[in-house]
């Protein structure tokens, strides 16, 4: 125990470096909310091209996530992060220099590809190097970095708004990307990937380096046993053995998005104006407040995850989101704007805090945990694609829904999705807290149902 504690700093350093990929994800998805106003003005965008510029990143992310399984499996996790950071740098600079809408859309698709690959690789890498006991904490550093990236984007937007300098807003993303590129030099390859590729001795060395003085033979043995399992293709995902994990991961991906998080992240200023706030500045400031609450409650969640477990936080968080959405919807249905706008603000703050406690960090964490090694690349990639696809659908339909149903009913619809996701989590999502990835795998192979996949060996029949 002592030795384990003594050697932990290195694992924190490595994890924090890898999590910068999450920061880029947050920055590059968040920055457009402020920049688009000025881009639209300069290029004279139509509503359609406007939507294209905003959602090009989401389309790119979908493509990136789709290819990322194969890429990380053949190149390794480390090299993939390195190439991704290079694309981040180049695409950020290119988008800042774009001379017309088409160039912007194309560069933002590339940026999206980098985001998609990063959103897959960073949590996967973190889960693979983490000791089981603090895996929740380490993998969730990625989500923390996403929220910090979003706040950073809001601050940069606010800073450059008076000069309408959207090029600086977009170009600024190259700086954290450069830090990531330099940081990758210190990242070791994932021991699980090394062993999967037959480099067992190298895998042992890395494991020893990141675990310190403790004996790594048991862990190594478990990994070797699991990598010995035959490699599978995506078709295996559809077989009954793997059905429970497909169900869990796709369900979580779906519910993380259809409960409406990005209507707030991408459109908070619009919602604040709709709720009766006058002027862009106060709306952007209120948005910044929402971003900061997101960061703070992600920290709360990270500190509790490995103590309380994933399920209680998920259930509590979703329940709170549901109540907040009912409140937000009601605010839009009230006649008296002076009162209702404060209900809207309180509901949005409560909503974002509850998302940050549960669905935000835990979905990425569980997606990275539940797939067995031979299927991890393909399975995780399918789940991450589902996140981006649902993200894109919600982002593209939100404003039309508001137009069609009105604010009240739209947010009540997302509240209804919260209710369904509550039932889903209660019935199907396992508690994986403190359970080694290899144990989850063994439970799966022994035919346990979804809800019991995280049970420790001692409880197995
Ligand atoms: C979600 C993003 C969202 C972000 C907000 C992430 O977990 O995947 O879609 O924008 O959290 O913090």
Nearest CA residue ID for atom 11, ligand 1: 360
Q: What is the DSSP string of 149-194?
A: HHHHHHHHHHHHGGGT-HHHHHHTTHHHHHHHHHHHTTPPPPHHHH
pLDDT at 3 over 60: no
Q: 1 CA to middle of ligand 1, Å?
A: 35
Residue 230 gets the label, from left (phi > 0), alpha (psi -120 to 50) or beta, of: beta
* Average pLDDT, integer, range 92-118: 96
- Please name which of 191, 228, 225 lies closest in space to residue 208, comparing C-alpha atoms: 191
> Could you tell me the end-to-end alpha-carbon distance of the chain, in angstroms, rounded to an integer?
30
Q: Which residue has the higher pLDDT, 317 or 265?
A: 317
CA dist., res. 430 & res. 175, Å (int): 39
In our burial notation (b when 16+ CB lie closer than 10 A, e otherwise), range 148-184 reads bbbbbbbbbbbebbeeebbbebbbbbbebbeebbebb
Question: Which of 25, 265, 366 for mutating ligand 1's site (highest number of atoms within 8 Å of CB)?
Answer: 265
Q: 426 CA to middle of ligand 1, Å?
A: 22
CA dist., res. 166 & res. 97, Å (int): 10
- Residue where the block lists tokens 């990380």: 72
Tokens describing residue 450: 């979804």
For residue 46, with 0-12 CB atoms within 10 Å meaning exposed, 13-18 middle and 19 or more buried, which class applies? Answer: exposed
Could you tell me the pLDDT band of residue 215, with boundaries at 50, 70 and 90? Answer: confident
Could you tell me the pLDDT band of residue 456, with boundaries at 50, 70 and 90? Answer: low
Q: 204 CA to middle of ligand 1, Å?
A: 35
- Please name which of 218, 243, 13, 22 lies closest in space to residue 129, comparing C-alpha atoms: 13
The 8-class DSSP code of residue 230 comes to P
Tell me the backbone φ, ψ of residue 351, rounded to 5 degrees.
Answer: -60, -50
427 contact partners, CB below 8 Å, separation of at least 6: 451
pLDDT at 459: 44
* Average pLDDT, integer, range 201-205: 92
Q: What is the DSSP string of 388-433?
A: HHHHHHHHHHHHHHHHHHHHHHHHHHHHHHHHHHHHHHHHH----T
pLDDT at 1 over 50: no
Could you tell me the pLDDT band of residue 232, with boundaries at 50, 70 and 90? Answer: low
pLDDT at 461 over 70: no
pLDDT at 113: 97
Q: What is the 3-state secondary structure (H, E, C) of 298-324?
A: HHHHHHHHHHHCHHHHHHHHHHHHHHH
* pLDDT 10s digits, 53-100: 888 999 999 999 999 988 998 999 999 999 999 999 999 999 999 999
* pLDDT 10s digits, 346-393: 999 999 999 999 999 999 999 988 888 778 878 888 999 999 999 999
* pLDDT 10s digits, 124-154: 899 889 888 888 888 899 999 999 999 999 9
Q: 198 CA to middle of ligand 1, Å?
A: 35
pLDDT at 80: 95
- Of all atoms in ligand 1, which is nearest to the CA of residue 356? 12
Could you tell me the pLDDT band of residue 2, with boundaries at 50, 70 and 90? Answer: very low
- Of all atoms in ligand 1, which is nearest to the CA of residue 257? 9
- Please name which of 355, 359, 377, 360 lies closest in space to residue 368, comparing C-alpha atoms: 377
Q: 218 CA to middle of ligand 1, Å?
A: 36
* Average pLDDT, integer, range 171-179: 95
Neighbours of 342 (CB within 10 A): 13
Which residues have CB under 6 Å of ligand 1?
Answer: 29, 143, 146-147, 150, 256, 261-262, 265, 294, 360, 364, 387, 391
- Of all atoms in ligand 1, which is nearest to the CA of residue 359? 7
Q: 360 CA to middle of ligand 1, Å?
A: 6
Could you tell me the pLDDT band of residue 32, with boundaries at 50, 70 and 90? Answer: confident
CA dist., res. 361 & res. 137, Å (int): 10
pLDDT at 291 over 90: yes
* pLDDT 10s digits, 316-349: 999 999 999 999 999 988 877 677 888 988 999 9
Nearest CA residue ID for atom 1, ligand 1: 360
The four Cα atoms 49, 55, 56, 61 give a dihedral, to 10 degrees, of -170
- Please name which of 207, 339, 321 lies closest in space to residue 264, comparing C-alpha atoms: 321
């Amino acid at each position: 125990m002592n030795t384990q504690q003594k050697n932990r700093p290195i694992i924190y350093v490595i994890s924090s470096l890898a999590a910068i990929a999450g920061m880029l994800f947050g920055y590059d998805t968040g920055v457009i909310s402020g920049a688009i106003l000025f881009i639209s003005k300069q290029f004279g965008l139509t509503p359609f091209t406007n939507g294209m510029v905003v959602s090009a990143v989401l389309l790119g992310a979908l493509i990136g996530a789709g290819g990322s399984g194969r890429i990380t499996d053949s190149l390794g996790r480390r090299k993939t992060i390195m190439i991704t950071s290079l694309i981040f740098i180049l695409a950020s600079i290119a988008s800042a220099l774009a001379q017309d809408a088409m160039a912007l859309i194309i560069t933002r698709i590339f940026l999206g590809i980098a985001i998609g690959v990063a959103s897959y690789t960073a949590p996967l890498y973190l889960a693979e190097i983490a000791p089981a006991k603090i895996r929740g904490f380490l993998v969730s550093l990625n989500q923390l970095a996403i929220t910090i990236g979003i706040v950073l984007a809001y601050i940069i937007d606010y800073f450059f708004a008076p000069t309408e300098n959207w090029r600086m807003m977009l170009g600024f993303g190259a700086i954290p990307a450069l830090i990531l590129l330099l940081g990758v030099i210190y990242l070791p390859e994932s021991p699980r990937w090394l062993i999967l590729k037959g480099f067992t001795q190298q895998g042992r060395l890395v494991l020893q380096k990141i675990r310190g003085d403790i004996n790594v033979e048991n862990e190594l043995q478990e990994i070797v046993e699991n990598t010995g399992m035959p490699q599978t293709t995506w078709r295996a995902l559809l077989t009954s053995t793997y059905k429970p994990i497909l169900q869990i991961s796709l369900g979580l991906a779906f519910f993380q998005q259809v409960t409406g998080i990005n209507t707030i992240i991408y459109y908070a200023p619009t919602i604040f104006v709709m709720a009766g706030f006058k002027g862009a500045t106060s709306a952007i400031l209120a948005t910044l407040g929402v971003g900061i609450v997101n960061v703070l409650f992600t920290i709360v969640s990270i500190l509790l995850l490995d103590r309380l477990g994933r399920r209680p936080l998920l259930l509590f968080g979703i329940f709170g989101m549901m109540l907040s959405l009912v409140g937000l919807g009601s605010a839009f249905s009230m006649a008296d704007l002076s009162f209702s706008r404060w209900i809207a603000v309180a509901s949005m703050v409560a909503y974002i805090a509850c998302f940050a406690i549960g669905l935000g960090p835990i979905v990425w964490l569980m997606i990275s945990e539940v797939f067995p090694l031979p299927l991890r690349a393909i399975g995780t990639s399918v789940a991450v694609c589902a996140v981006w696809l649902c993200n894109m659908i919600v982002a593209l339909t939100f404003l039309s829904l508001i137009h069609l149903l009105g604010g009240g009913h739209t947010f009540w619809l997302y509240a209804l999705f919260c209710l369904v996701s509550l039932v889903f989590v209660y019935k199907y999502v396992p508690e994986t807290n403190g359970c080694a990835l290899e144990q989850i795998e063994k439970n799966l192979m022994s035919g346990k149902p979804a809800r019991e996949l995280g049970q420790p060996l001692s409880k197995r029949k």
